[in-house]
Structure 1
Amino acid sequence: MNNTMFAAVAETAQAPLIVRHIARPTPGKGQLLIQVHAAGINPLDTKIAAGAGGHARQPLPAVLGIDLAGVVVELGEGVVDFAIGDEVFGMAGGIGGAQGALAEYIAVDAQLVAPKPRALSMREAAALPLVFITAWEGLVDRANVHPGQQVLIHGGAGGVGQIAVQIAKARGADVYATGSASSLDFIRELGATPIDYRAQDTDSYVRLHTDGEGFDIVYDTVGGATLDASFNAVKTYTGHVLSCLGWGQHSLAPLSFRGASYSGVFTLMPLLTGKGRAHHGHILREAAALVEAGQLRIKVDQTRFGLEDVNEAFAQVAEGRRQGKTVVELGAE
């Protein structure tokens, strides 16, 4: 195997990524060397490239790309759960100083990946990890969503939102989701009751769908004013608000007067701290099980990008022009 590889490198902030040769990594103890077939592009990747996204702790120059799907080609010392030739997927690099997935090969902690669902293509699998882990950590790890609950997902057609809807449905909840008028049909297809947030204010849809009692779980995937609205939409005493974008300044008074609970979701923490990495692998196995059971799908943008098109892919994400998750392909299916 050649000791170099092609990779897309963000040399400096706010500059195009450069595709060039860099050294091919060698897997260390507990790591896998994966030949990357596809890399999912997240808004965070574009923010890092623009010099923002400081919470990701990814100094430039760097190879970006958080999500990946590919094939194991080499095992590091001590790895027993995977074999050469295994197809895997995961959220395993691109932050915290680690090399990302926009390269022909990546060395990753074996705990962070899982066997790729057979029912998904490499493109589809690469689109799934970050959004699924974020949705699962909120709904399952924090809120223990279960049958009989009414769950409201803000941004139900978005990356995290569409997965959150499907997880809540699979676990037996009655699911509602907000979106713009153009997204309501997609939300309905996912199995949720759509709510046009521009046509109905919070009090109106809480009265309509919960008789004014509030939702058992409200998951905010939008942030800002949407999180404030979530505090007014949750059930008294037993309600639980979640947010993966609760980074601003918010008044807790509406939540406190309801005696309700709030949990933040910070999906990057295991990659940044090393703590909880095995749980990410477990969550991805749950994703695979839902896919194989026909209870989970991921919408991928139909535009095909290769590594040489990486800047066009980043522009599509940064400008919000995608119809589903943007994926860069680095190898044959």
Structure 2
Amino acid sequence: MKAISYSRYGGPEVLAFGEVRDPVVGPDAVLVKVRAAAVNPVDWKAREGHLDGVLAPVFPVVPGWDVSGVVVRPGVAVSEFDVGDEVIGYVREDFLSRGTFAEYVAAPLRTLARKPRNLTWEEAAGLPLVGLTAYQVLVKVLQVKRGETVLVHAAAGGVGSVAVQLAVHLGARVIGTASEPNHDFVRGLGGEPVTYGEGLGERVRGVAPEGVDAVFDSVGGDALKVSANLLAPEGRLVSIADTEVVNYGGRYYFVRPDADDLRRLSELAEQGAVSVHVDETFPLERAAEAHRLNEEGRTRGKIVVTVAWEGDGGE
């Protein structure tokens, strides 16, 4: 099958488009015909070797954890999905090798849910990783309650934009950091935008004088120190970007595949509580460009790679 892969760590130039081995479908997995796969910052961090101490590579590595597509073959023990079912998945294993930037991916049941019917293939592919991250942090770790004030960093980004919507759905007041050109976008999600950078603490205090009940950090660095000083009594702080958060009394979190959580996200998307903004799409063979753009860190929402199929135009 055709796929994007890399045989050594490095920049986007190590990504190659070509033939790789077809996936082996285990008993508790399904073979998914890929329609779209989203790009996430973890993809280029893994490609550069930054996850080497956490996830061992088995070269060549096909990158990508997010997917939307169609089931073409269930494993022998699978009764949950049939041929033709439309699915989404956060297809992460405990090593780097068999990713979603390919024509097909073998996806374990624990990574899958049915695709939201109201989302396009591209939008659906952008939901799993960022949606699960936002859902698990807000609901399971921060345990956000109605009436609380939540500060979401990088509110116009992939994780942040979904986190704003979910926190609003939970009944929270949401303050979101973003560049000024993205303020209207954040308002459209239901958040109150504040500009990040020097003076952030004063700006947040200006709209939340008593502090915030919870902080969702996806930036790290100086944002953590500022965030810790903005917490109200009993306030909670979680970072998905910087393990130093523990030094500020917070918790570091790494998203995990969870089929039940993904099903709940799909339901929320169908209810209109959560949407995915796709900033730009690239065909599979141009995935290196998608990586470069994502690495710049200025994306609003998601960057998505699409897989076209002969006879259907990829639709």
* Length-normalised TM-score, structure 1: 0.86
**Cα displacement string for residues 95-146 of structure 1 (whole angstroms, at most 9, x for unaligned residues):** 6134000111111111211000001111111111111111111110112212
Instruction: Give the drift of 1:249.
Output: 7.3
* Aligned residue in 1 for 2:6: 10
Asked if residue 266 in structure 1 is aligned to residue 254 in structure 2, the reply is yes
Give the count of matched residue pairs: 307
- Pair 136,77 (structure 1): closer, same or farther in 2 beyond 3 Å: same
> Counterpart amino acid of 1:179?
A
State the distance in 2 between where 1:140 and 1:149 align. 13
What's the counterpart of residue 161 of structure 1? 160
Distance 1:119 1:7 in 2: 28
| Alpha-carbon RMSD | 1.9
Cα distance in 1 between the residues matched to 2:203 and 2:9: 44
The answer on whether the counterparts of 2:29 and 2:107 sit within 8 Å (CA) in structure 1 is yes
- Which of residues 268, 276, 279 is equivalent to 1:298? 276
Alpha-carbon contact 1:301-1:324 (below 8 Å) kept: yes
1:209 to 199, 207, 210: 207
**Percent of pairs identical after alignment?**
36
User: Which has the larger displacement, 24-33 or 51-60?
Assistant: 51-60
| Alignment correspondent of 2:240 | 244
Deviation per CA, 1:195-238: give whole Å up to 9, x if none: 123474314522x3333x211111111111111111111111x2
How far is 1:263 from its partner?
A: 2.6
C-alpha spacing 1:46/1:94, structure 2 compared with 1 (3 Å): farther
Shift in Å, 1:77: 2.1
User: Which has a greater percent of strand?
Assistant: 2
Query: Is the 8 Å Cα contact of residues 203 and 233 (structure 1) preserved in structure 2?
Result: no
Map of 1:285 onto structure 2: 263
Q: Distance in 2 between matches of 1:168 and 1:55?
A: 33
Alpha-carbon distance change, 226 to 314 in structure 1, aligned in 2, over 3 angstroms: same
Q: Does the 8 Å CA contact 2:60/2:97 hold for their aligned counterparts?
A: no
Q: Hey, what's the Cα distance between the residues in 2 that align with 1:321 and 1:205?
A: 22
Q: Tell me how far apart the structure 2 counterparts of residues 324 and 51 of structure 1 sit (CA, whole Å).
A: 25
Paired residues of 1:93 and 1:101 also in contact (CA < 8 A): no
**Structure 2 runs not aligned, ≥5 long:** 309-313
Instruction: Check conservation: 2:29, 2:74, Cα contact below 8 A.
Output: yes
Q: Work out which of the residue numbers 50, 53, 74 in structure 2 matches 1:52.
A: 50
From 221, 231, 236, the equivalent of 1:234 is 231
Shift of 1:287: 1.3
Instruction: Specify which of 317, 322, 328 is matched with residue 294 of structure 2.
Output: 317
Report the counterpart of residue 192 of structure 2 in structure 1: 193
Counterpart of 1:79, as a letter, is V
Report if aligned partners of 2:157, 2:300 keep a CA contact under 8 Å in 1: no
Bigger shift: 101-110 or 243-252? Answer: 243-252
Give secondary structure in 2 for the equivalent of 1:97.
Answer: strand
Change (3 A) 1:58 1:39: farther
Q: Write the deviation string for residues 247-277 of structure 1: whole angstroms up to 9, x where unpaired.
A: 237743xx5xxxxxx232111xx4xxxxxx4
